[in-house]
Structure 1
Amino acid sequence: MSGQPPQQRIAIVTGAARGIGAAIALRLAQDGHAIALLDLRAADCAETAGLVEQAGRRALAVDCDVSDEEMVKAAIDEVASRLGPPTVLVNNAGVLKDRTLSNMTLDDWNLVVDVNLKSVFLTCRAVAPLMREARWGRIVNLSSIAALGVFGETNYSAAKAGVQGLTKTLAIELGAYGVTANVVAPGFVVTEMTRGVAASAGMTMDELSQLMLRDIVVGRTGEPDDIAQAVAFFADPRSSFVTGQVLYVAGGPRT
């Protein structure tokens, strides 16, 4: 039998300094969680931490390269000792290194797979014992519509498809402990990362948005709060009968 949600609600959000990660952190704070903000430089999380504290919740920013096994372990230990054992984990950290297959280097491949997929394995492995002990937990991993295939993103597409398979397996392994594991897969969302994509393609953000709108049936591009809303649903204690699912938040149907 699974346990009850802990009275002290602690959530970890990776890649929390800006964009989608910052929006998720704030939403979970508004929903009652203390927030551990993991990013390469804790100092970059100052603005997000301030918003969490304005929402009346504790915030802890931690330096962490989520692709580094020892740094992940140290970060989780710090969160547990300073905030309390985390029972919500949101893996949001990610990078892009787009090239066609013929131009992609092994370094391009390794960087993207390490940050987008290996990190999910490392953080889930580190947090799972705490969730099993609590007999309650929520894991929400961010994938992407790129998991379905995108030109010039073999590394990113492979990593994000891997996140989906990993998460479905976690749902099977951890379900008996009251732990759910689900995926939120964003479509096109306006962030600093997608602004970088536009710049690298020699386009303005408006031009890229107009191009992407061809496949978005609701007639607008996504915002970080759209993704935070989906994450909040999976993290909610009332979502205990939903696990192993992939939710495409993309403004249109996906398969």
Structure 2
Amino acid sequence: MTDSSRQPRVLVTGASRGIGRATMRYLADKGYQTIGLARSIPADARADEQFIACDLMDLDGTRALVSDLAAQAPFYGLVNNAALAHTTDLAHTSVADMNEAMALNVNACLVCMQALLPGMRQARAGRVVNISSRAALGKPNRTAYSATKAAVIGMSRTWALELATDQITVNVIAPGPVATELFKTASPPGAPQTE
């Protein structure tokens, strides 16, 4: 059995389903100590995967939780995956939609990174992967989602420049359509907006 205290720790947000769930499983299989944040804990969670129920829209609560986790032991990695996608056209996109998408898709990434940053800097090692989307280039009926996913790209480039001297790398993955629960909800089969 592997000594979990020696395994590099990786935090994954939005870890209970879709890309986040697959990421948790992959990292655990590779020997990382994975800790997943999500609104709910999946029924198929394994013993080598730790899940913590967390509302990432509560930025103060998220900061406190992640800071507490980082105080227990430093993290080697962070995968910012949690997201929401409003599917309204331009005329019906509200400022509330924009603010909600910004809170989860961008600000939660910032809060998690800031909480883990001191430990990564002290270790002079860290790997950060922020999940954006092809929709950052534009997609009909995705004003809030596209705007925030473009923000993730710009934010990540800035972090990469700032953190390179600390031996912390920051990368973005911008997948196209993946048949996750979020995608199927936003783009149901047969719907006009589904490409």
CA positional deviation for 1:40 = 1.8
The one of 166, 171, 189 equivalent to 1:182 is: 171
**Matches of 2:85 and 2:167, distance apart in 1:** 34
Superposition map of 1:8-27 within 5 A? 8-27=7-26
Q: Tell me which residue corresponds to 2:107.
A: 118
Deviations 1:15-58 (A, max 9, x none): 001111000001111111011110123xx2342x31xx3xxx3x
2:98 is aligned with 1:109? yes
Residues paired across the two proteins, number = 189
State the Cα distance separating 1:62 from its structure 2 match.
1.4
How big is the shift at 1:198? 3.2
- Distance in 1 separating the partners of 2:102 and 2:63: 19
* Identical columns (%): 36
Name the structure 1 match of 2:55.
65
Gaps of 5+ in 2: none
The one-letter amino acid of 1:45's match is P
C-alpha RMSD over aligned residues: 1.8
In structure 2, the partner of 1:45 is: 42
Contact 2:79/2:130 (8 A) holds in 1: yes
Greater Cα offset, 154-163 or 97-106: 97-106
CA 1:81 to 1:61, structure 2 compared with 1: closer, same or farther past 3 Å? farther
Partner of residue 79 from structure 1, selected from 51, 66, 69: 69
Runs of 4+ in structure 1 deviating by more than 3 angstroms, as ranges, are none
Once the two structures are superposed, the pairs formed by residues 208-223 of structure 1 within 5 Å of their partners are 212=195
Hey, what's the Cα distance between the residues in 2 that align with 1:77 and 1:99? 35
- CA deviation string 1:192-213 (max 9, x = no partner): 11111234xxxx3xx46xx63x
Give how far 1:81 is off: 5.2
Q: Deviations over 1:77-135 (max 9, x none)?
A: 343355x3211000000011111121111211111111111111111111111110111
What's 2:121 paired with? Answer: 132
In structure 2, the residue matched to 1:191 is 180
Residue in 1 that maps onto 2:34: 35
Cα distance in 2 for partners of 1:46, 1:34 equals 19
In structure 1, list runs of 5 or more residues that go unmatched: 1-5, 213-255
Alpha-carbon distance between aligned partners in 1 of 2:186 and 2:50, rounded to the nearest angstrom? 30
